[in-house]
Amino acid sequence: MDNIFTPAVASMQASAIREIFKLIAQKDIISFAAGIPAPELFPAKEWAAITNDILTTNPTPALIYGVTEGYVPLRELTLKRMADMGMACSTDRLVITSGAQQAIDLTAKVLLNVGDGVIIEKPSFIGSLNSFRSYGAQLFDVDVEADGMNLEQTEEILKTQNIKFIYTIATFQNPSGVTMSLQKRKDLLALAKKYDVFILEDNPYGELRFSGEAVPTIKSMDTEGRVIYAGTYSKTLAPGVRVGFCFAREDIIDRVVVVKQVNDVHTPVLNQMMVYEYITRHDFDAHIRNCSEIYGKKCALMLDCMDKHFPKECTYTRPDGGIFILCTMPEGTDTKELLGEVIQNKVAYVPGNTFMADIDAPSNIFRLNFSVTKEDDIVKGIEILGGILRKHV
């Protein structure tokens, strides 16, 4: 049998980021390639007590099949937290998903026919781009500027192409750390309305703000069910529990639930209970403030070191939250090629090509993570990296 796979799936590449992780798995590398919160902030001890309670006192609900929509107390709690963040649309519904990745993937599955267009940010998160590709979508990218995606480019594409939705990580974007301005959020929503398309707002980092003023989510300004919101507990608690959610118009959630039912039946109930019980028994907002404060200090330290050691030809973003800084080397630098030398010197970043619609084209950008690395390793690693960069400008 030839051509056994669907054309969309046949052409997919494994996530280059996850392949890089395999490269840099050696213990003595100072890695700035991560995309996770600091493991020492995971509430492991609290969860040890919680799982012990659940599994010794009333284990059955945690271990039998649950409803596809999610563990009801966690759904209600999440809806309340959404309302507290200004997203209280009573006609919308929420489904718990196995990470925000599943919210994105199932949204793509229900909406995208082969050949449908999706507008994406350039650069953007490879996991989402690959999901859209897996359904045969065409990707159209627009530049990310200091205040978010370029809306002139966005409208030009909306005018000429068959677009189903616009995908944006509007707050502390991955990989740029950039936050879309309030004005651009309003204008983007107006564009979506004008051209009758959806917005898929992916907001894994939004709660991790350590400086600047909060900007409302695009979803919070959505009066007509045009925004599909993907959220997660991966970045505020721990990514490995795989608990996220999707919040959108009722008919969309209804379809997401139907395809989730045939995808993994439901997100493991024990994992949902772990999140619910942690938030109920402990001060989750204080935990988030503590994480954000630590990340803010690490970010400031990293930027200080970069100011000192990086060549002036290398520019970079100064995020108000999240876990990433994006660096731009002079045109002509191929950061994927440069990674070999960087790893030889026991440091690592994620090269820019992995965030692009065209993953094979050389890119002069790279992503640094500041949440995971310890402070003395930040100092040491940035100095080493700066030395290499200075040789290549």
Question: How many Cβ atoms sit within 10 Å of the Cβ of residue 387?
Answer: 14
Given a contact cutoff of 8 angstroms between Cβ atoms, the answer to whether 204 and 169 are in contact is yes
Whether the ω angle into residue 123 lies within 30 degrees of 0, i.e. cis, is yes
Residue 306 identity (one-letter amino acid): M
Residues 32-51 that bind a second copy (CB under 8 A): 35-36, 39, 42, 44-45, 47-48, 51
- Looking at the DSSP bridge assignments, the partners of residue 231 are 245
Tell me if 162 contacts a second copy by CB under 8 A: no
Q: Give the residue, chosen from 94, 151, 269, 350, that forms a contact with a second copy under the rule CB under 8 A.
A: 269
Given a contact cutoff of 8 angstroms between Cβ atoms, the answer to whether 390 and 55 are in contact is no
Q: Which is nearer to a second copy, 86 or 240 (CB)?
A: 240
Q: Give the residue, chosen from 24, 66, 144, 389, that forms a contact with a second copy under the rule CB under 8 A.
A: 66
Encoded tokens for 171: 């707050």
Tell me if 4 contacts a second copy by CB under 8 A: yes
Q: Give the residue, chosen from 15, 150, 153, 161, that forms a contact with a second copy under the rule CB under 8 A.
A: 15
Tell me if 255 contacts a second copy by CB under 8 A: yes
Instruction: Provide CB contacts within 8 A for 375, sequence distance 6+.
Output: 297, 298, 301
Tell me if 1 contacts a second copy by CB under 8 A: yes
Cα(257)–Cα(264) distance, rounded to whole angstroms?
11
Closest to 385 measured CA to CA, from 347, 337, 340, 344: 347
Supply the minimum distance, in Å, between the C-beta of residue 319 and a second copy.
21
Residue 253 identity (one-letter amino acid): I
Query: Which one of the spans 214-222, 251-259, 292-300, 319-327 is the region binding a second copy (CB under 8 A)?
Result: 251-259
- Residue ranges with strand state E in 169-226: 198-202
Query: Which one of the spans 62-70, 137-145, 152-160, 354-362 is the region binding a second copy (CB under 8 A)?
Result: 62-70
Tell me if 72 contacts a second copy by CB under 8 A: no
Residues 85-124 that bind a second copy (CB under 8 A): 98-99, 101-102, 105, 109-114
Q: Which is nearer to a second copy, 2 or 331 (CB)?
A: 2
Q: Which residue has the tokens 């440091």?
A: 347
Total binding residues for a second copy by CB under 8 A?
A: 75
Supply the minimum distance, in Å, between the C-beta of residue 6 and a second copy.
5
Cα(110)–Cα(107) distance, rounded to whole angstroms?
5
Tell me if 161 contacts a second copy by CB under 8 A: no
Tell me if 138 contacts a second copy by CB under 8 A: no
Residues 331-390 that bind a second copy (CB under 8 A): none
Tell me if 270 contacts a second copy by CB under 8 A: yes
Cα(306)–Cα(318) distance, rounded to whole angstroms?
11
Tell me if 197 contacts a second copy by CB under 8 A: yes
